[in-house]
Amino acid sequence: MSQSKPNKTKQAVIIGAGIAGIASAIRLSVKGYQVTVFEANEYAGGKLTVLEQDGYRFDAGPSLFTMPHYVDALFALAGRNPRKYFNYIKKDTSCTYFWDDGTQLTAWADQTAFADEVQKKLGVPAEKVTKRLQKARRMYELAGRIFMEKPLNRFGTWWSKDVAKTLLHLSQLDLLKSMHKANADQLENPKLVQLFDRYATYNGSDPYRAPGILNMIPHLEHGVGTFLPKKGMHEITTSLVALAEELGVRFCYNSRVNKILTDGGKTSGVVVGQETFKADLVLSNMDITPTYRQLMPEVKAPETKLNQEKSSSALIFYWGIKKEFAQLGLHNIFFSSTYKQEFEDIFRGKVPATDPTIYVNITSKDISEDAPEGCENWFVMVNVPTHNGQDWEVLIPQYKAIIIQKLNKILQTNLANLIETEDTLSPVEIERKTSSAGGSLYGTSSNSRYAAFLRHPNDHTGIEGLYFAGGSVHPGGGIPLCLLSAKIVSEIIPQP
């Protein structure tokens, strides 16, 4: 393990080696801190981990990679050439979509090709699709950097030319509409509306309640692009850990933090097991709810923020499939025929949907080593409620039967005979492995127009030296936003 540099006298402790924790460690080390990361698991990455089984390799968590420059920026910040550590490819297609009536549509990365595909398959004029993507880009340019790259609890964020420009164009941001209403008004065709509505799931939300401003998300995929690390998503974790260790960051695995020490309005360190570790600052990459409830129960918790509606969770099947399917790509979506009901089931009924939308990720399409010859590694995911007392041992086989039945019908196959290895990940296990409340994937949902402002900030205004990064705090969940939370928090932490 790399040794600390002699000039690093200020100590920073990070709780959790999720992607935001690793990125924060890199940024603080470059800033001049001696950084120690305590991780409860025996591995780094949080949800961004790997599963290897019976000759198959699966990315166990996040499978979509956008905004790769946020990863490259960490290497550049440390004075390294990113390409010597981490490489990726840009995909020609972002996703392949399937509906129960047999409709199949390829979302090409090239916007003109995508618009032509929509016109051909759905009968929607290509100009309407192009206009919708242009609006997504405009929304991102007006508001994306404000909400994603700046701390919202700082006066300086709001007293700027960018905010003034945004205020002049508020009508373009669909703040008073839901994502679904904005999409329905602009796109009309039910299948195309459903395609654009599904971007709400990128932060675990309901498009029928999430604000229309989230319709900027398609720009990340269709304007910037979708990518794949050459060795799989887990390479993001391994390459950044390697960089952090080169910089002198110390990772302590199997080391669960039991308490954050505070005294007189200031943090002084953490307790791990029976041992106290002093620090000049503490940064929690742990979910914000257990951070308060478990690590500092004596500190008054921001109940309004902690009690917000959580994002959706996921049920994932990892299937080794002894066949190749030519009609499938890296990312595949099999849509529900009762989309609104699916979200009502997830967020209001608190029961799994009977006709779920199914996402299938197959990295062996691009990385041949991920599956035996002639086979494919299927990451099969459905959105589900957070864990709230459900009996997942009963629900998992029920869900498996529903998924197989739906995929068999659309793909004209018999999956039960093709699955030669299997593993699962349920909300209960997500909660246990990542300490996320109820197995929530993205902390809180964005199911209100004020959701962005209700996320916990990246610092504690009442406790000096206490900071937060990760998917449960500003600016939100998913790899790009977690990396941005590390950037935001590093910029508000003072020089040592």
Q: Is residue 161 over pLDDT 80? A: no
Q: Report pLDDT for 391.
A: 94
Which run of H or E residues covers position 13? strand 11-15
Domain annotation for the chain: domains and CATH numbers? 11-49+67-82+231-305+450-492 (3.50.50.60), 126-222 (1.10.405), 312-385+388-425 (no CATH)
DSSP 355-420: S--EEEE-GGGT-GGGS-TT-EEEEEEEEEPPPSS--HHHHHHHHHHHHHHHHHHHHTS-GGGTEE
* pTM (predicted TM-score): 0.94
Tens digit of each residue's pLDDT (9 = 90 or more) over 315-325: 999 999 999 99
Tens digit of each residue's pLDDT (9 = 90 or more) over 333-367: 999 999 999 999 999 877 878 899 999 999 999 99
- Answer yes or no: are the C-beta atoms of 126 and 142 closer than 8 Å: no
Tens digit of each residue's pLDDT (9 = 90 or more) over 454-473: 789 999 989 999 999 999 99
Tens digit of each residue's pLDDT (9 = 90 or more) over 9-20: 899 999 999 999
Average pLDDT over residues 401-413: 97
| Distances in whole angstroms, Cα of residue 23 to Cα of each of 71, 122, 152, 345 | 9, 42, 20, 35
Q: Report pLDDT for 74.
A: 98
Q: pLDDT averaged over the chain?
A: 93
Burial class of 374 by CB neighbour count within 10 A (0 to 12, 13 to 18, 19+): exposed
Q: Report pLDDT for 141.
A: 87
Angle of helix 126-139 versus helix 111-122 axis, rounded to 10: 130
φ and ψ of 263, to 5 deg: -155, 125
Nearest residue to 463 (alpha-carbon basis) of 266, 279, 283:
266
Q: Which of 31-35, 132-136, 150-154, 306-310 shows the lowest per-residue confidence on average (mean pLDDT)?
A: 150-154
Residues 6+ apart with CB under 8 A from 394: none
Average pLDDT over residues 301-330: 95
Percent of the chain residues topping a pLDDT of 90: 84
Q: Report pLDDT for 118.
A: 98
Average pLDDT over residues 286-293: 96
Tens digit of each residue's pLDDT (9 = 90 or more) over 479-495: 999 999 999 999 999 99
Tens digit of each residue's pLDDT (9 = 90 or more) over 70-80: 999 999 999 99
Give residue 312's pLDDT band: very low, low, confident or very high (50, 70, 90). Answer: very high
Q: Report pLDDT for 150.
A: 67
DSSP 85-129: T--EEE-SEEEEEE-TTS-EEEEESSHHHHHHHHHHHH---HHHH
